[in-house]
Amino acid sequence: MKYCVAVMTVQLHLPQSHSLKERRSVVSSLRERIRKRFNVSVVEDPTDTWQLVMVIMAAAGHSESMLEQQFSQIRELMDQESRAMVLNPRIEYYV
């Protein structure tokens, strides 16, 4: 049986964040919503800036198209977050 793993990397810009605590609040909320709704692994790679953070998500499935659809839905959810702007989304597939 063929399986595929996909990793999506997204940089988030939080223009209204003025502290690490504010950034953490936004990212934690978004991370939990993604994990609960889509059952994917989510990790953040924090930077020293208050307004930028890299979010990495990983999922496994039976096909690239299934994972592409799932990450498209995740992207839509992220775009609905008014406190964050999605920059440079990138998906890599491992078959």
Enumerate the domain spans of the chain: 4-94
Span 6-17, average pLDDT: 94
Contact 78, 8 (CB under 8 A): no
In the prediction, which pLDDT does 28 show? 94
Which pTM was predicted?
Answer: 0.89
Q: What confidence tens digit (pLDDT) does each residue in 73-86 have?
A: 999 999 999 999 99
In the prediction, which pLDDT does 48 show? 76
Side chain identity, residue 93:
Y
Contacts of 35 (CB under 8 A, 6+ apart): 41, 42
Q: What confidence tens digit (pLDDT) does each residue in 52-76 have?
A: 999 999 999 999 999 999 999 999 9
The CATH number of the domain covering residues in 4-94:
3.30.70.1120
